[in-house]
Chains A and B, each alone.
Chain A
Amino acid sequence: GEQVEQLPSILRVQEGSSASINCTYENSASNYFPWYKQEPGENPKLIIDIRSNMERKQTQGLIVLLDKKAKRFSLHITDTQPGDSAMYFCAASASGYNKLTFGKGTVLLVSP
């Protein structure tokens, strides 16, 4: 099956700076890479995703990059705010039934 590695496990940044989370995957057939955000006490919610026919996607202060050759994808949060503090999960999928393999998660802490 697929394996997804996610780093770092904890990320502390100052408000207004940027934050980056990196993931790698093993299965070259993986073609869909979503990112989920889980706030304390809440369930995970999709925030952005990228398909294998793209290298970059941007929406509302979030940038996702995909390097298929290196089997690496990353999430970049620009101008972080305290409300960005949460657990972030990357995931990868190679099947048509949306079977996702998740990374272990990154706790992002944004301090004022």
Chain B
Amino acid sequence: GGIITQTPKFLIGQEGQKLTLKCQQNFNHDTMYWYRQDSGKGLRLIYYSITENDLQKGDLSEGYDASREKKSSFSLTVTSAQKNEMAVFLCASSPDRAHAEQFFGPGTRLTVL
């Protein structure tokens, strides 16, 4: 088994602020993902990475940067937080094979004041 850790669990920011979310996994999975979850909008893919130093844009990449520093970690940066923004950011990982299950972390809840 393994675990995905996301830090911080709660993140409160100010409008315009640059905010970084971190994700670590010990599954030794090749592929990692960042999703944004909004009420009524499901899970939307922001970025994913198929290996260390790789970066692929998802459907919602504008306004975000990401970095896959090493196989076990994948960070996401909100480049300029939007006022009154509230969302949950979920990190996930999966093995590098077709149709593999994605394992999700507990999420980071973002609130922008």
Contacts and interface: CB of A to CB of B under 8 A. Distances in A.
Chain B residues touching A, majority SS: loop
B44 A102 contact: yes
- Indicate the size class of the contact surface on chain A: 20 to 34
A93 B99 contact: yes
B104 A45 contact: yes
B100 A101 contact: no
Contact of B101 (A9, A34, A99, A101): A34
Given A46-B102, A96-B98, A97-B31, A102 B107 contact: no
A9 B39 CA distance: 11
B50 interface: yes
A9 B107 contact: no
Interface string A27-67: 00000101000000011111001010000000000000000
Contact of B99 (A9, A98, A105): A98
Q: Which of A43, A93, A104 has the most CB of B within 10 A?
A: A43
Interface string A78-112: 00000000000100010011111111110000000
A43 B90 contact: yes
Contact of B48 (A32, A44, A49, A97): A97
Contacts of A45: 104
A15 B107 CA distance: 30
A6 B43 CA distance: 12
Contact of B59 (A1, A9, A42, A103): A1
23 contacts: A9-B40, A32-B99, A42-B106, A43-B104, A43-B105, A43-B106, A46-B102, A49-B99, A49-B101, A89-B42, A96-B98, A97-B50, A97-B96, A98-B94, A98-B98, A99-B56, A99-B58, A100-B102, A101-B45, A104-B41, A104-B42, A105-B40, A105-B43
Interface of B: 31, 35, 40-45, 48, 50, 56, 58-59, 90, 94, 96, 98-102, 104-107
